[in-house]
Chains A and B, each alone.
Chain A
């Protein structure tokens, strides 16, 4: 039962690590897309990024994997683009909150031509 508990703990840690790796890859890929000025630059850098991830694919020891993920996240932090491209309607994009509907209760009083009445 302790072996089963240890196996479950191991699997849980591995699953959490896999999720961290996926998240890191996703963010790094988006960053690469923002940095790349032209599309062929993006393809080149994206394949380089993928090769870096593939090189460490077969690490087995949990602590090694943790350290590799931490190194990768530190590198990503340093290479973030200061002005990433975000889709305009999403939070952080250029069109976000551009034309908000006015809060309820504020209305225009239409009294054109009726001011004297």
Chain B
């Protein structure tokens, strides 16, 4: 008797399933796209990466900003030390909120390498 009552209530309350026509499927699609969500919009474009990397390198006190272009090698073109290289890589890590493993940080010795690494990193922001 309780189960019959439950069945009656459920049949009353339950919304009948209806198949959607084409228009209905479009409106359903609208609600599934989160149009006001800002998730995942911090993918960097390559020009933005280049600009920010060049800004970081130019603001390094031991560097002459006029010599900095996107193909520059830190030690041969800019006359920096290997320890200066380490400092530049740390400044890039701070700028792009990255954590670069030690082995790979040792190999970032020029601007194009830095831009390649950051542009290919999924978590750069």
Q: Are A86 and B99 in contact (CB under 8 A)?
A: yes
- Is A18 on the interface with B (CB-CB < 8 A)? yes
Q: Given contacts A26-B90, A30-B90, A116-B10, is CB(A53)–CB(B102) below 8 Å?
A: no
Interchain nearest-CB distance for B17 vs A (Å): 8
* Segment touching B, from A64-72, A73-81, A87-95: A87-95
Chain A residues with CB under 8 Å of B102's CB are: 23, 26-27
What does DSSP make chain A's interface, helix, strand, loop or mixed? helix
Partner of B86, one of A22, A86, A89: A22
- Is A19 on the interface with B (CB-CB < 8 A)? yes
- Is B106 on the interface with A (CB-CB < 8 A)? yes
Chain B residues with CB under 8 Å of A46's CB are: 87
Instruction: Find the residue from B7, B83, B87, B105 having the highest chain A CB count within 10 A.
Output: B83
Interchain nearest-CB distance for A101 vs B (Å): 15
- A26–B106 Cα gap in the complex (Å)? 9
Q: How many pairs, one residue from A and one from B, have CB atoms within 8 Å of each other in the complex? A: 40
Chain A residues with CB under 8 Å of B90's CB are: 26, 29-30, 33
Chain B residues with CB under 8 Å of A5's CB are: none
- Is A13 on the interface with B (CB-CB < 8 A)? no
Q: A-B pairs with the 8 shortest C-beta distances?
A: A90-B99, A87-B99, A26-B86, A25-B86, A25-B83, A89-B123, A22-B86, A22-B82
5 contacts between A and B (CB under 8 A): A22-B85, A23-B102, A53-B83, A86-B99, A89-B123
What does DSSP make chain B's interface, helix, strand, loop or mixed? helix
Q: Which residue of A lies closest to B101 (CB)?
A: A90
Q: Are A93 and B99 in contact (CB under 8 A)?
A: yes
Which residues on A are within 8 Å of B, measured CB to CB? 18-19, 21-23, 25-27, 29-30, 33, 46, 50, 53, 86-87, 89-90, 93, 113, 116
Extra inter-chain contacts (9) besides given A22-B85, A23-B102, CB under 8 Å: A19-B106, A22-B86, A25-B83, A26-B86, A26-B89, A29-B87, A50-B87, A93-B99, A116-B10
- Is B46 on the interface with A (CB-CB < 8 A)? no
- A46–B90 Cα gap in the complex (Å)? 12
- Is B98 on the interface with A (CB-CB < 8 A)? yes
